[in-house]
Amino acid sequence: MTTAPTARQGAVGTAHTRVEGRDKVTGAARYAAEIPFPGLAHGWLVLSTVARGRIRALDTAPVLAMPGVRTVLHHGNAPQVATDYPGLMGGKPDPTAAVFQHDRVPHPGWPVALVVAETPEQAREAAEALVVHYEQEPHDVVFTADHPRARPTGGFGPAVTEKGDLEAELAASAAVVDAEYTTPEEYHNPMEPHGATARWEDGRLEVVDSNQGTMWVAGELANLFSLDPSAVRVRSEHVGGGFGSKGVRAHQVAAVMAATVLRRPVRVVMTRRQMFSLAGYRSPTAQRIRLGADADGRLRALEHRSLSLTSTVHEFNESASAPSRVMYDADAHHTVNSVVRLDVGTPTWMRAPGEAPGSFALESALDELAEKLGVDPIDLRLRNEPERGPVSGLPFAGRNLSACFREGARRFGWADRDPRPGVRRDGRWLLGTGTAAASFPAGAGPSTAAVTAEADGSFTVRINAADIGTGARTALTLVAADALDVVPDRVRVRIGDSDFGPAMIAGGSTGTRSWSWAIRLAAAELRERLAPDVRVPPEGVTVRSDTTAALGALTQRERHSYGAQFAEVAVDPATGEVRVRRMLGVFAAGRIVNPLTARGQLTGGMVWGISMALHEEGVRDRATGGHYGADLASYHVAAHADVPAVEAHWVDDHDPDDPVGIKGIGEVGIVGAAAAVANAVWHATGVRHRHLPIRPDRVLLAGAPDA
Amino acid sequence: MSSAPSSTYSAVTLTVNGEKHTLTVDHRTTLLDALRERLDLTGTKKGCDQGQCGACTVLVDGRRNLSCLQLAVAAEGREITTIEGVAEGDGLHPVQEAFLELDGYQCGYCTPGQICSAIAVIEEHAAGWPSAATDDLRPEAGPPPLTPEEIRERMSGNLCRCGAYVSIVQAVARAAADRSAAKEAVA
């Protein structure tokens, strides 16, 4: 048949249920560890019980004699892998995933062995029975703001940015805020644990995995095992959450090693407890902010110093001063990101890396400044809207923060707010409201896509996207339908397969923007090729695209999503309990592709903000270096009862320079959310909480105003 | 197989979604692993394997049950319903329908557990069971209004890390309202 376009309304911008929704609500959607393989063996990782030292010996003989055990892989017998290749961000890759290469233990929970057996029960018991002898060495896992080994470091921007005379501007200011803020270790905890099955088929390595980018994982596995990239295929169809944690990890590498040694498929799944050691986490931060302003609120001085930690084997920088480099300008503007290396696992990206903890400090400090000046917190922010990027000097490509605040204030009822703290009661509860600004970079990465016009009049899009719960599969279906000028039902989008070619990962809120760009390029060319009377051959007509050149041609601008966060809390001064009563966020996030799923992305981020403000805290035992309570009972993430009415709205946000017009929405929802809650707690109680989470004991110890 | 081959295995007959399955299982096998690894019913999810997340929730004799905390050998003679068996025929259960329409999920991994829990929550509420959010606990008070607070309290054993709680609660409320409307129409 021919493919004459039919006049129709656009799909982008209207609500569509998820294309894989039926599979997800019926249990038919299969995640990585749920694909059956004949002859499958099960691997169970064994992690170090010491924080630092050397493996002296492993008593493998009794374990190998246990029922069903097929092998025990460790540094003495595992295949060698390469680690001197460029990683995802250009630098050296984190060697944490290169398991069993030496006898060193650089941090607690370091993988020391993989036990492979016929059944998961056999593998687990054998792994727990494996005795490992260590030569223990002293460790340092204690993160402090004044750690002597801390030093400034780059990565995600420069280590230091500086302009103006900070001390002079602070001295000339009518009001000054000088405060320290801390955020704890936070753990991604996607509901689906990391799991991978590896097998060799006709000389090709096949891995079924749960990740945020199959090309990323395939590329790293090819590098690690010195394979031609075409000899590795990684698939990841359904992903049960990632939040930054699902890249290359020990489980995939261990599974490939075992499949290579045993010549059969091997599956390795992390336990929830192991995820706390192997899946990455958000570094704790210690931040100092100094703000100085004129009496009318104009900032004269802004200093944001952030310290985070990293492991001894790899540097990751939780650059928490990032929001200060974009949000507010000042005559004197200084920012520093520092890290300290400790005997702990390597932290990694976690939903809004840098911006989430950084915005807690910055937006709390703005609230403190508003209090000192007697200026409304929203007015203070609007008076400091910069013309250009404070550090980059680039113009903004649309900065709709003020529209977010105006709309948010209207919907939330901000105008009626009494600014005095500690004066509202509802029975035993003290009530307060707070606000904060949000921003997150709107980036894109080079991507390829293939769009095929099928002979039956339908279209198939192949793009190596990942849908980790974002609704990307559905959003891309709508984008493709509009680009092809057909109804979404005629478009099938296939994702999560490294054989589809290079594409951006699901990370940094860049996925939907990057992938949509590639699909639109391919679709436009395909439509040109399909003149109204062209007959499509049985094999279809396929056009491939690559956005590398188009991205390079994009004008340099400060491109970001923005948001205004509002929270109302109730604080019980007798128990220290803080309850969020409602939250409202208004965002400027470019073109909203699918309002149904977009709302979930934004409110989901705000729920993370509640969780960050009140609950999440990874605590280390100084003696062992390990975690207290590495599980979902001790590491509490917000549950149903913690989450009240949470609303997300958006304003029109258009960038005329941008051919796609889509910005990311996965991360901006958490930015500023914890600060809005903390600012509301101050408004309720009159007490500033500068250390997260705002636990009941902290509320009790901090006291409450005289009521 | 009627007799156990060794002291660490037993034959067990599990009734799942109305079908009987006789298996020889390792005594250490949880009901969750029996469903996923032996019966290929992978709709029931393993989120933590220690009873803290609710992803493995199934219905056992109509009541919510964490299948990761139950040994398969202890589940003999019970009626087990998994996400694959909650709907009649090829249609969707009203709770599934509501989750789909209102986007009561994101990554989908906690979803089968949320749906199984929600089905039981609606029944528990209709039967008059109170929760920690219920104000009037007198037996004669009858079922409290199924407010968002009631739903949140009753669903709190099911974590959703994507934070889709807002739309999950809306979906449960809609399914519960549809159920009581249907009951009223019959009555």
Token representation of residue A94 = 């984190």
A121/B108 Cβ within 8 A: no
Q: What is the pLDDT of residue B183?
A: 83
Quick check: A655 pLDDT over 90?
A: no
> A485: exposed, middle or buried (C-beta count within 10 Å: 0-12, 13-18, 19+)?
middle
Look-up: residue for tokens 């930015």? A671
Beta bridge partners of A234: A207
A272/B49 Cβ within 8 A: yes
Q: What is the three-class DSSP state of A5?
A: coil
Q: What is the tally of structural domains in chain A?
A: 2
Quick check: A705 pLDDT over 70?
A: no
Q: Are residues A481 and A603 in the same domain?
A: no
> A475: exposed, middle or buried (C-beta count within 10 Å: 0-12, 13-18, 19+)?
buried
Q: What is the pLDDT of residue A8?
A: 56
The closest alpha carbon to A651, from A385, A403, A402, A396, belongs to A403
Q: Are residues A495 and A580 in the same domain?
A: no
Q: Is B36 on the interface with A (CB under 8 A)?
A: yes
Token representation of residue A541 = 């007509």
> A627: exposed, middle or buried (C-beta count within 10 Å: 0-12, 13-18, 19+)?
buried
How many CB atoms within 10 Å of residue B186? 6
> A109: exposed, middle or buried (C-beta count within 10 Å: 0-12, 13-18, 19+)?
buried
Chain A residue nearest residue B82, CA to CA: A27
| Spatial separation of the C-alpha atoms in residues B58 and B35, rounded to whole Å | 10
Quick check: B1 pLDDT over 60?
A: no
Quick check: A703 pLDDT over 80?
A: no
How many angstroms away from the CA of B151 is the closest CA of chain A? 8
pLDDT band, residue A189 (cuts 50/70/90): very high
Quick check: B141 pLDDT over 80?
A: yes
Considering chain A, what is the average pLDDT of its residues? 95
Render pLDDT for B32-46 as a digit per residue (tens, 0 to 9): 999 999 999 999 999
Residues with Cβ < 8 Å from B25, sequence gap 6 or more?
A: B9, B10, B11, B12, B34, B38, B72, B73
B45/A192 Cβ within 8 A: yes
Residue ending a domain, among A524, A552, A580, is A552
Residues of B with CB below 8 A from A188's CB?
A: 161
Q: Are A703 and A572 in contact (CB under 8 A)?
A: no
Give all strands of the β-sheet with A459-463 in edge-to-edge order: A491-494, A459-463, A448-453, A541-546
pLDDT band, residue A656 (cuts 50/70/90): confident
Q: Are residues A517 and A415 in the same domain?
A: no
Q: What is the pLDDT of residue A659?
A: 83
Q: Are residues A685 and A596 in the same domain?
A: yes
pLDDT band, residue A22 (cuts 50/70/90): very high
A632/B156 Cβ within 8 A: no
Q: Are residues A558 and A691 in the same domain?
A: yes
Q: Are A542 and A656 in contact (CB under 8 A)?
A: no
DSSP per residue, A158-209: -SEEEES-HHHHHHT-SEEEEEEEEE-BB----SSPPEEEEEEETTEEEEEE
Q: What is the pLDDT of residue A351?
A: 98
Residues of B with CB below 8 A from A24's CB?
A: 105, 108, 111
For A25, which of B99, B167, B169 is closest by C-beta distance? B99
Token representation of residue A239 = 């992903």
Q: Are residues A482 and A570 in the same domain?
A: no
Which CATH code is given to the segment(s) B94-186?
A: 1.10.150.120
pLDDT band, residue B17 (cuts 50/70/90): very high
Give all strands of the β-sheet with A131-136 in edge-to-edge order: A104-105, A53-59, A131-136
Residues of B with CB below 8 A from A25's CB?
A: 83, 92, 96, 99-100, 105, 108, 111-112, 115
Pick the CATH number of B9-85 from 3.20.20.70, 3.30.70.980, 3.10.20.30, 3.30.1330.10: 3.10.20.30
Q: What is the pLDDT of residue A547?
A: 97
A240/B108 Cβ within 8 A: yes
Does residue A378 lie within any of the structural domains?
A: no
| Residue A372 host element (H or E) | helix A355-373
Q: Are residues A564 and A639 in the same domain?
A: yes
Q: What is the pLDDT of residue A69?
A: 98
Quick check: A1 pLDDT over 70?
A: no
Q: What is the pLDDT of residue A704?
A: 52
Residue ending a domain, among A499, A528, A552, is A552
Report, as residue numbers or ranges, the catalytic residues of A: 667
Q: What is the pLDDT of residue A702?
A: 87
For residue B164, give the DSSP letter: -
| Spatial separation of the C-alpha atoms in residues A34 and A31, rounded to whole Å | 5
Quick check: A144 pLDDT over 90?
A: yes
Q: Are B137 and B150 in contact (CB under 8 A)?
A: no
pLDDT band, residue B179 (cuts 50/70/90): confident
Percent of chain A at pLDDT exceeding 90: 93
How many CB atoms within 10 Å of residue A226? 10
B165/A607 Cβ within 8 A: yes
Q: Is B163 on the interface with A (CB under 8 A)?
A: yes
Q: What is the pLDDT of residue B4?
A: 42
Residues of B with CB below 8 A from A643's CB?
A: 152, 163, 165-166
Q: Are residues A562 and A699 in the same domain?
A: yes
Q: How many contacts, defined by CB atoms under 8 Å, are there between A and B?
A: 179
A119/B156 Cβ within 8 A: no
Phi then psi for residue A587, to 5 deg, are -125, 150
Residues with Cβ < 8 Å from A462, sequence gap 6 or more?
A: A449, A450, A451, A452, A494, A497, A500
For A21, which of B49, B100, B159 is closest by C-beta distance? B100
Q: Are residues A599 and A457 in the same domain?
A: no
A271/B49 Cβ within 8 A: yes
Does residue A245 lie within any of the structural domains?
A: no
Q: What is the mean pLDDT of residues A458-487?
A: 97
Q: Is B83 on the interface with A (CB under 8 A)?
A: yes
Q: Are A445 and A514 in contact (CB under 8 A)?
A: yes
Quick check: B64 pLDDT over 80?
A: yes
Render pLDDT for B85-135 as a digit per residue (tens, 0 to 9): 999 988 999 999 999 999 999 999 999 999 999 999 999 999 999 999 999
Q: Is A646 on the interface with B (CB under 8 A)?
A: yes
Q: What is the mean pLDDT of residues B66-87?
A: 97
Domain ranges for chain B: 9-85, 94-186
* Cα-based distances in Å from A526 to A3, A199, A495, A502: 11, 37, 19, 20
pLDDT band, residue A3 (cuts 50/70/90): very low
**Which domain covers residue A570, as residue numbers?**
394-443+554-707
Q: Is B47 on the interface with A (CB under 8 A)?
A: yes
Percent of chain B at pLDDT exceeding 70: 97
pLDDT band, residue A398 (cuts 50/70/90): confident
For B33, which of A120, A238, A611 is closest by C-beta distance? A120
pLDDT band, residue A101 (cuts 50/70/90): very high
Q: Are A640 and B156 in contact (CB under 8 A)?
A: yes
Q: What is the pLDDT of residue B185?
A: 82
Q: What is the pLDDT of residue B180?
A: 86
* Cα-based distances in Å from A159 to A131, A150, A329, A330, A560: 44, 12, 18, 19, 21
Quick check: A291 pLDDT over 70?
A: yes
Q: Are residues A478 and A513 in the same domain?
A: yes
Q: What is the pLDDT of residue B45?
A: 98
Max alpha carbon distance in chain B (Å)?
56
How many angstroms away from the CA of A456 is the closest CA of chain B? 27
Mutate one of B107, B134, B146 to test the A interface: name it (highest A CB count within 10 A). Answer: B107
Q: Are residues A580 and A702 in the same domain?
A: yes
Q: Are residues A707 and A634 in the same domain?
A: yes
Q: What is the pLDDT of residue B7?
A: 86
A471/B106 Cβ within 8 A: yes
Does residue A529 lie within any of the structural domains?
A: yes
Q: Is A21 on the interface with B (CB under 8 A)?
A: yes
Does residue A151 lie within any of the structural domains?
A: no
CB contact residues (below 8 A), chain B span 56-75, against chain A:
none
Quick check: A531 pLDDT over 70?
A: yes
The closest alpha carbon to A644, from A692, A611, A616, A668, belongs to A611
Q: Indicate which CATH number applies to the domain containing A439.
A: 3.30.365.10
pLDDT band, residue A657 (cuts 50/70/90): confident
Residue ending a domain, among A552, A585, A612, is A552
Token representation of residue A133 = 């002898």
